[in-house]
Amino acid sequence: MPQSGKALKVSIYIADGETYHGVGRASALLDFLFYRGVSGATVLKGVAGFGADHHLHTASLVDVSDRLPIKVEFIETLVKVEELLPTLKELCGTGLIEVQETTIVKAANSTSDPAEQSAVHHKVEGKAKLLRIYIDETDKWNGKSLHEALVEALRASEIAGITVYKAILGYGSGKHVHQRHVFSAGASLMLAVIDVEPKIRSFLPILDKMMPNGLVVLSDVDIITYRRGSATPSGSAEEAPHA
C-alpha cells in the first residue's frame, strides 16, 4: 500500500462494451489490479465523449450507447506501476494509458480497527508429513462410521487438522468405474491430515487398530501457512491448517 509521499496515478481509458477473453475489459482490468495487490482502484463511466475513431457517443433516454468512455484509475508506487504496466498495456487493448506523477498527502487506512491495523501478516514455511487414508463410506468401527471415529481419534491425539473428502468418480484395482450418484451410499472417502512427523508417527499405531481395510499413504510435504496477527508465530508445522 502506498504511503504518504511521491507516487504515480494511472488512468486507463477504454470503451464500454469491449471484452477481453470473453470478459468485460473494465472487469478484467479491475480483477487484475485487485489480485495483484493494488491498494485501490476506481472505475468511472462517461456520459458522453469520443475516441480515436472521432465518433461522438452519448447516453440519453433516446440514444443509449454501449461505446461510452470508461476510465479505470488507481494510485501506486513507481515500482508497482512499472511491474504492472506490461500486462495493463495488453488488457487495455486499443485504449489509452496515462501515468502522472502525484503526491499522497494522507495515505488511506485499510481498516478503522486499530487492532487490525497493527496486525502483522505472517508467512510460515516448514517441513511436515501428509497422511492420506482411503476407506469406504460404509466402513464401521465399534458401531460408528469409521471416518467419524478417525476424526475423533485424530482430534483426541491433538493432530493439527483433518479434512474428509468424498469421491464422485474413480476406479480401483478391479478396474470398475464407480460414479457417485445423488442418492447412492458407499462412496470412497479420503481423509487428509497434515502435521509434523513425530505427531503423525505417534498416531500410526492407533490407526493400525482402527483400519479394517483400506489404503494409507504417507508423504513428505512442504507447508506454507499464512496468518494475520500481532503475535510472533512459532514456525511449527503443528500450526498448519487442516489439509
Cβ atoms 35, 141 nearer than 8 A: no
Q: What would be the CATH architecture of the domain defined by 5-104?
A: 2-Layer Sandwich (3.30)
The reported pTM is 0.55
pLDDT band per the 50, 70, 90 thresholds, residue 100:
very high
The answer on pLDDT for 28 being more than 90 is yes
Q: Read off the pLDDT of residues 145-198 as tens digits, 9 standing for 90 and up.
A: 999 999 999 999 989 889 999 988 776 656 566 565 544 556 789 999 999 999
Please tell me which residue, 33 or 238, carries the higher pLDDT value: 33
DSSP letter for 237, please: G
Cβ atoms 150, 231 nearer than 8 A: no
Q: What is the pLDDT of residue 69?
A: 82
Cβ atoms 39, 75 nearer than 8 A: yes
Question: What sign does the dihedral 109-110-111-117 (CA atoms) show?
Answer: negative
Write out the DSSP string of 19-33.
Answer: EETTEEHHHHHHHHH
Write out the DSSP string of 30-97.
Answer: HHHHHHTT-S-EEEEE-SEEE-TT--EEEB-SS-B-S--EEEEEEEE-HHHHHHHHHHHHHHTTTSEE
- The radius of gyration of the chain's CA atoms, rounded to the nearest angstrom, is 27
The answer on pLDDT for 234 being more than 60 is no
Spans of all domains in the chain = 5-104, 121-239
> Smallest Cα–Cα separation from 193: which of 217, 167, 169, 227?
217
The neighbour count for residue 242, using CB atoms within 10 Å, is: 14
Q: What is the pLDDT of residue 56?
A: 61
Q: What is the pLDDT of residue 98?
A: 96
Amino acid at 94: T
Q: What would be the CATH architecture of the domain defined by 121-239?
A: 2-Layer Sandwich (3.30)
Question: What sign does the dihedral 210-216-219-221 (CA atoms) show?
Answer: negative
Quote the cell numbers at residue 53: 475513431
Taking each helix axis from N to C end, the angle separating 25-35 and 78-91, rounded to the nearest 10 degrees, works out to 150
> Smallest Cα–Cα separation from 239: which of 159, 156, 170, 185?
159
The answer on pLDDT for 64 being more than 80 is no
